[in-house]
Copies of this chain bind each other. A is one copy, B any other.
Amino acid sequence: MSLLESPIVAPVATPTAATQTVLPPDVSAADFDAAIQAMKQAIGADNVHVDVETVGPYYDAFPVTDDPTDFAPSGVAFPGSTEEVQSIVRIANQYLIPLHAFSTGRNLGYGGSAPRTAGTLLLDLGRRMNQVLEINPKYGYALVEPGVSYYDLYNAIQEKGYPLWIDAPDLAWGSVVGNTMDRGLGYTPYGDHGMWKSGLEIVLPDGDVLRTGMGGLPGNNTWQLFPASYGPQPDNLFVQSNYGIVTKMGIQLMLAPPDALTFQITFDHESDLQAIIDIMLPLRINMAPLQNVPVLRNIFLDAAQVSKRTDWYDGDGPIPAEVVERMKKELNLGYWNFYGTCYGPRPVIDTYIGMIEEAFSRIPGAKFYTTETRPQSPDDRGAHTLHDRHKINTGIPTTEEANVFHWIPNAGHFFFSPISAPEGADALRQFEMVKKRADEFKKDYCAQFVIGLREMHHISLLLYDTTDSAHRSEALNLVRTLIDEAAAVGYGEYRSHNILNDQIAATYSWNDNAQRRFNERIKDALDPNGILNPGKAGIWPARLRGRGL
């Protein structure tokens, strides 16, 4: 499913496009034209475009700078097969045209479909490479092309009537391949998407094709069953990197368990955070009784699902405490709200639910609900997220969380996503650090702690008005400040917006930036002409090194 064909209402922001073609670095207009002509020859004139009307919608929907050319693509191509991707890559090598391949072009809050380097040619794989190639109900896996969204995969499974679950992120309009290869997360027991991929087909920067794992063995029936093969396993080298273009991916799927029950626990006070996380850890670390990836959300995030900011408060700056109290009362929510799901035969669920309720009831004021005890109802807006999380946690795609884009006018957001230990003290320190700065910068902070197994992703959603230049630069300054403050105390980000790549990569500075130096060595070996996505994740090819921010 391509960005442009999405049946889902896109976020409200309208990207601002450059008015003429932005050329790649060090490429003349004549060479660029020759490359485009060669690509049209290779995959059809209808599938390569440089006009503003076609290219405009691929700009970042949440622009963060005033100059629309900062992250401007030069054009867009729609390859229809692995072979066509290979052709484009070979031509790009000849003319030194940088390429940025993406799947559905979402990646909201991290740069959308915009490239890191201005003048990069986009490969919208979603337009024509969007087939579910196989679904195996017995072994529980699918083999998909990049353009397959979580909705597409879900629908394909439902059409066959297979008892398989997908594991979708909060917004299911994204690509399965795109999310997984950018280190995305979901919320079922299969929430660590990278762990459940099995088998990649990758076009390398020189146009060669690699199949990883058992895909190397002709005649195998295990490509999607066993991700390794013999010798090193390079799959994760292609996660969040610029070393290749994934054209097929296997994803393992959970079989629907006998039953599932989702719970919501509400906690009154900001200061409960530390106790919540400390009680949570021993319940989660053994994958039971907390069997899935639970989330802890502050009230702004839940309120934004069912209301606008102006419904509660008209002023600028932080929302006052008495307004927060009114929100809690009217929505029957806590300042913190914790969601998770138990799975299995009913006796197992009942055992686990009992253990969870008992553990958290130690926090004064905690209230425990399940999808059975707090039914969905128009009169109970605070039940909205409970039932939406139940869907997400049981393999049903939704895009309800996009309601957050209506919290303020023209809302865009930055994600600031540090990793920390699943420790109350760490959670509290991060919360206070971000909230203090967000208050200073007058940005609402929708907090979410997503608990893997031994680590938390603190996904901070920092909202700003994308049409307001001052708002944009404040948001950017806020995140830049947070990245440095977090790194100074040992918290690192796992994913970022294009504009922050170099800053974040630089925080991984151990042994004279050994990680960056290693990444560059691999880059130069696989992509000597520096074609693929220069600057992605702070990895620049030799010919453009030093162009980082």
Question: Which residues of A line the B interface, CB within 8 A?
Answer: 138-141, 183, 189, 194-195, 198, 204, 208-212, 214-222, 224-226, 228-241, 243, 252, 254-255, 257, 281-282, 285-288, 344-345, 347-348, 351-352, 355, 419-422, 426, 452, 454-455, 487-496, 504-505, 507-511, 514-515, 517-519, 521-522, 524-526, 537-539
Chain B residues in 8 Å Cβ range of A140: 285, 454
Closest to A195 in B: B195
Q: Assess A494 versus B218: contact at CB under 8 Å? Given A210-B518, A237-B233, A510-B211.
A: no
Q: Assess A522 versus B234: contact at CB under 8 Å? Given A255-B282, A285-B255.
A: yes
Please measure, in the bound complex, the distance between the C-alpha atom of A216 and the C-alpha atom of B513, giving whole angstroms. Answer: 8
Contact, CB under 8 Å: B455 / A492 = no
Min CB distance A182 to B, Å, is: 11
Chain B residues in 8 Å Cβ range of A496: 230
Chain B residues in 8 Å Cβ range of A233: 236-237, 239-240
Interface contacts beyond A139-B422, A217-B510, A220-B492: sample of 17 additional A-B pairs, CB < 8 Å, sorted by A:
A139-B454, A208-B511, A211-B511, A216-B492, A216-B514, A217-B507, A218-B509, A219-B488, A221-B426, A225-B419, A225-B455, A226-B454, A229-B508, A230-B493, A231-B240, A254-B286, A257-B286
Contact, CB under 8 Å: B231 / A234 = no
Contact, CB under 8 Å: A217 / B539 = no
Chain B residues in 8 Å Cβ range of A288: 257, 344, 348
Chain B residues in 8 Å Cβ range of A236: 228, 232-236
Chain B residues in 8 Å Cβ range of A229: 492, 494, 508, 515
Q: Assess A494 versus B525: contact at CB under 8 Å? Given A217-B510, A236-B235, A518-B210.
A: no
Taking a contact as CB atoms closer than 8 A, the residue among B237, B508, B517 that contacts A230 in the complex is B508
Contact, CB under 8 Å: B214 / A492 = yes
Chain B residues in 8 Å Cβ range of A281: 138-139
Please measure, in the bound complex, the distance between the C-alpha atom of A519 and the C-alpha atom of B237, giving whole angstroms. Answer: 12
Closest to A539 in B: B231
Please measure, in the bound complex, the distance between the C-alpha atom of A287 and the C-alpha atom of B281, giving whole angstroms. Answer: 21
Please measure, in the bound complex, the distance between the C-alpha atom of A455 and the C-alpha atom of B539, giving whole angstroms. Answer: 35
Taking a contact as CB atoms closer than 8 A, the residue among B204, B237, B491 that contacts A232 in the complex is B237
Chain B residues in 8 Å Cβ range of A204: 518
Min CB distance A62 to B, Å, is: 20
Taking a contact as CB atoms closer than 8 A, the residue among B216, B218, B491, B494 that contacts A220 in the complex is B491
Give the one of A210, A224, A352 with max B CB within 10 A.
A210
Closest to A352 in B: B348
Contact, CB under 8 Å: B254 / A216 = no
Chain B residues in 8 Å Cβ range of A189: 287
Chain B residues in 8 Å Cβ range of A216: 492, 508-510, 514-515
Min CB distance A214 to B, Å, is: 6
Please measure, in the bound complex, the distance between the C-alpha atom of A247 and the C-alpha atom of B123, giving whole angstroms. Answer: 41
Chain B residues in 8 Å Cβ range of A282: 255
Chain B residues in 8 Å Cβ range of A226: 419, 452, 454-455, 494
Q: Which 5 A-B pairs have the closest CB atoms?
A: A525-B525, A216-B508, A219-B490, A231-B537, A232-B241
Closest to A218 in B: B510
Contact, CB under 8 Å: B454 / A217 = no
Q: Assess A232 versus B522: contact at CB under 8 Å? Given A225-B455, A347-B347, A454-B141.
A: yes
Chain B residues in 8 Å Cβ range of A348: 288, 347-348, 351-352
Contact, CB under 8 Å: A490 / B220 = yes
Can you pick out 13 interface pairs between chain A and chain B where the beta carbons lie within 8 Å of each other? A139-B285, A210-B514, A211-B510, A216-B492, A218-B509, A226-B419, A228-B494, A232-B238, A232-B537, A233-B236, A234-B236, A257-B288, A522-B522
Min CB distance A361 to B, Å, is: 18
Closest to A209 in B: B511
Chain B residues in 8 Å Cβ range of A195: 195
Min CB distance A106 to B, Å, is: 20
Contact, CB under 8 Å: A490 / B422 = no
Contact, CB under 8 Å: A230 / B494 = yes
Contact, CB under 8 Å: A230 / B514 = no
Min CB distance A277 to B, Å, is: 12
Chain B residues in 8 Å Cβ range of A243: 232
Please measure, in the bound complex, the distance between the C-alpha atom of A212 and the C-alpha atom of B516, giving whole angstroms. Answer: 11
Chain B residues in 8 Å Cβ range of A455: 222, 225-226
Closest to A286 in B: B255
Min CB distance A48 to B, Å, is: 26
Please measure, in the bound complex, the distance between the C-alpha atom of A490 and the C-alpha atom of B355, giving whole angstroms. Answer: 46
Taking a contact as CB atoms closer than 8 A, the residue among B209, B221, B426, B488 that contacts A421 in the complex is B221
Chain B residues in 8 Å Cβ range of A490: 217-222
Chain B residues in 8 Å Cβ range of A218: 490, 509-510
Contact, CB under 8 Å: A211 / B514 = yes
Give the one of A230, A257, A504 with max B CB within 10 A.
A230
Contact, CB under 8 Å: B231 / A419 = no
Please measure, in the bound complex, the distance between the C-alpha atom of A493 and the C-alpha atom of B217, giving whole angstroms. Answer: 10
Contact, CB under 8 Å: B521 / A231 = no
Chain B residues in 8 Å Cβ range of A508: 216-217, 229-230
